[in-house]
Amino acid sequence: MPSNPPISLLWPPDAHHQPRRLSDSVAADLDLDRIITALSAGYEDYTRDIRAILLDLCDDPRVIAYRQDVLADLLDDPDLARRLDDLLPTNIELDRFHYAARHGQTDLHEVLWRIGQLESYVETVEGLHAVFEGTRVQSAGLRQLHDLVVGVRADETFQHLLADLPEMVRKVRNIGSITLGINLDDRLRPVEATLLSINAETFGGDMGGPSFLEMLFGWTSDRREWSGIAPLHTVKRAMEQAQAGPHARDLANPMLHPLFRDLADILKQTSRPVARALQRYNHTKTQFLGALKSELAFFLGAARLVQRLADSGLPVCAPEIASQARRVCTITGVYNVGLALRLLEGRDGRLNGAVITNDTHFGDETGRIFILTGPNQGGKTTFTQAVGIAQVLAQAGLHVPGRAACLSPVDSVYTHFPVEEAPESGAGRLGEEAQRLNDIFARATAHSLILLNESLSSTSAGESLYLARDIVRILRRLGTRAVFATHLHDLAAGVDDLNASTPGDSEIVSLVARMHEDGAMRQTYEIAPGPPRGRSFAREIAARYGISYEQLDDLLRRRGLAHDAE
């Protein structure tokens, strides 16, 4: 079982982390990548980490509450969230200092690496101390981080590091240039060279000064000491010239090799006292702060997402987490977060009623298996996704879409949405659907959530109905929570018979996507318990698009193409 880091905003110190990773197909069916993109806004470098956190389904109510408290602190104190957001790039800098020895590197490289690591470590500790100063946090996660920072900062070793680090940095970074001495022969060819000095200043390029002849015959001026008398050549430019075709320059001047060797030796000597001074900090561990970066990005992104949805006029809430044994999910005013984010992309921040909210109730009194029917584009898939998204967000410790919510954790979420047929499988579309369903029932338990969307629609209506009834009966026997969005209205019409003929404690209930019936048929996207309305919906849809028998007969008559019996 993976061990937890020394300090974590996701896992309490004594929690056992046992990943229950959602599959990529579930993430795709629920459109979770859109939500992950929203959570990662401003922290794109950590999208993969944020995705892993969201899809690593946590079913421990105590851990979920631990995370909810962290998010509550950030939402209750926007200034705290802003200061942590400002600090996050410094924390991320610790990522750069993962040393790996490479061929050609000297002791100086390792010294530079360690100094850079300690410098970012000090900046992060000091930054976190400033973030928490004068702030009272309530969550156990942020309190532990605060206490850790206070303890580290008060430690004698850290105080010595704070005092010693500036001088160590100055010694190894205060090298801006070297001065070479070159002797020429009587034909002005370089014949000897040596290192004259190591300088703090850097040289500049040609400042438009005197010509070579002017310098040769004694011209002098008050030109800046560190400006060259010729253009400043860069390594990149020299390498480009060295590789530029058959007339490339030969950069392998034999005098350069001993010069660079001498330079390396001198720099090595420069680094030795700093390396000795660093030995006292060999046991200073900085990795625990670096491990917090993705967790901070996750919670800061979640706080932004909550605020964005609230500003758009949509409700969001921290759900009550019930015991897993209750197998409940009650949300007042649930909606599809992915749909809301998609609509927000083309608006000024307010949705103005463009997203319809619904209520959902899984439980002993209200049923746990819902057969959802209704017209095309009536909101069936959107609602089915909304249920799954809310469950994933709740178990990540985040707010859920809705005005109030109470959910039991699930041990996994399984989805069965339409996919493209894979001809290479040789099983056909129905065979592939059947195999995927078999895989779900091989793993699902009474504490799972199963979302079926137009399953078994690849065969005839009669065969689909026969197979679907068996699937629903097994869902009841299993006792799981499920939504089955389908066009099989006869399946929904027979829920009483299915409940009576199949043992189980999870009631099967018919839900319907409602329509306005005021003469102008239109979707409401409202989902509510009720009997299926398949036939009347079909007639209204046909009338809406002008394909009822009467409408088409009138069209043919007007075109002079109707054949009447003689």
Break the chain into its structural domains and give their ranges. 315-530, 533-561
pLDDT attached to residue 420? 62
Question: Is the Cβ–Cβ distance between 271 and 175 less than 8 Å?
Answer: no
Instruction: Please report, in tens digits, the pLDDT of each residue of the chain (566 residues total).
Output: 344 456 899 999 888 777 789 999 999 999 999 999 999 998 998 999 999 999 999 999 999 999 999 999 999 999 999 999 998 876 555 554 444 445 455 566 677 777 777 787 888 888 899 999 888 999 999 999 999 889 888 888 888 888 888 887 777 777 777 787 778 778 877 777 777 777 778 776 554 555 544 544 454 544 445 555 445 555 455 455 555 555 444 444 555 567 666 766 766 666 666 666 666 666 556 666 666 889 999 999 999 999 999 999 999 999 999 999 999 999 999 999 999 999 998 777 788 888 999 999 999 999 999 999 988 778 899 999 999 999 999 999 999 999 999 999 999 999 999 876 554 444 578 888 889 999 999 999 999 999 999 998 877 778 888 999 999 999 999 999 999 999 899 999 999 999 999 999 999 999 998 876 555 555 678 889 988 876 545 566 566 667 677 887 788 788 887 676 55
Task: For the chain, give the number of residues.
Answer: 566
Euclidean distance between CA atoms 295 and 8, whole angstroms: 8
Contact status, residue 384 vs residue 524, Cβ threshold 8 Å: no
**Which structure tokens are listed for 296?**
């901070």
To 10 degrees, what angle do helices 293-311 and 61-76 make?
70
Q: Are strands 404-407 and 320-321 parallel, antiparallel or unpaired?
A: parallel
* Among 541, 551, 538, residue whose Cα is nearest residue 520: 541
Please give the Cα distance from 127 to 330 (Å, whole number): 42
- In CATH, which of 3.40.50.720, 3.40.1260.10, 3.40.50.150, 3.40.50.300 is domain 315-530? 3.40.50.300
Residue (of 200, 171, 174, 374) closest to 276 by Cα position: 171
| 3-class DSSP assignment, residue 262 | helix
Beta bridge partners of 553: none
Task: Specify burial of residue 8 (Cβ count, 10 A radius: 0-12, 13-18, 19+).
Answer: buried
**Sequence-distant (≥ 6) Cβ neighbours of residue 378 within 8 angstroms:** 513, 514, 515, 523, 525
Residue type for position 551: Q
Of residues 433, 432, 393, 429, the one with CA closest to residue 413: 393
246, 358, 389, 465, 527 from 384: Cα distances, Å: 67, 11, 9, 20, 10
Neighbouring CB atoms inside 10 A of 558's CB total 9
Under DSSP, the state recorded for 345 is T
Say how many Å lie between the first and final Cα of the chain, rounded.
Answer: 84
Helix, strand and coil percent figures for the chain, each rounded to 5? 50, 15, 35
User: What pLDDT was estimated at residue 1?
Assistant: 37
Of 23, 22, 14, 16, nearest in space to 2 by CA = 16
* Chain centre distance of CA 73: 21
pLDDT (0 to 100) of residue 69: 98
Query: DSSP string of 230-256?
Result: SPPPPHHHHHHHHTSSTT------TTH
Cβ burial of 65 (10 Å; 0-12, 13-18, 19+) is: middle
Residues forming beta bridges with residue 508, ordered by sequence position: 369
Rounded to an integer, what distance in angstroms lies between the CA atom of residue 300 and that of residue 292? 12
Angle subtended at Cα 69 by Cα 302 and Cα 87, rounded to the nearest 5 degrees? 55
Q: Would you say the pTM of this structure is higher than 0.75?
A: yes
Rounded Cα distance, 417 and 165, in Å: 58
Distance (Å, whole) CA 564 – CA 57: 65
Q: Over the range 284-304, which residues count as b (16 or more CB within 10 Å of their CB) and which as e?
A: bebeebbebbbbbbbbbbbbb
User: What's the rounded Cα separation, in Å, for the pair 317 and 408?
Assistant: 16
pLDDT of residue 223: 45
3-state SS class at 330: strand
- Beta-strand relationship, 177-184 and 190-199: antiparallel
The answer for residues whose C-beta is within 8 angstroms of residue 73's C-beta and 6 or more apart is 80, 137, 138, 139, 142
Rounded CA gap, 420 and 346, in Å? Answer: 29
Task: Report phi then psi at 511, rounded to 5.
Answer: -115, 150
Report the SS3 class of residue 378: coil
Identify residue 232 by its one-letter amino acid code. L
Q: C-alpha angle with apex 506: 501 to 510, nearest 5 degrees? A: 80
CB-based contact 42:369 (threshold 8 Å)? no
CA-based nearest residue to 441, from 396, 399, 479: 479
Tell me, rounded to whole angstroms, the distance of Cα 130 from its chain centroid. Answer: 27
Whole-Å CA distances, 210 to 29, 379, 515, 543: 72, 80, 88, 91
For residues 177 and 205, the answer to whether their CB atoms sit within 8 Å is no
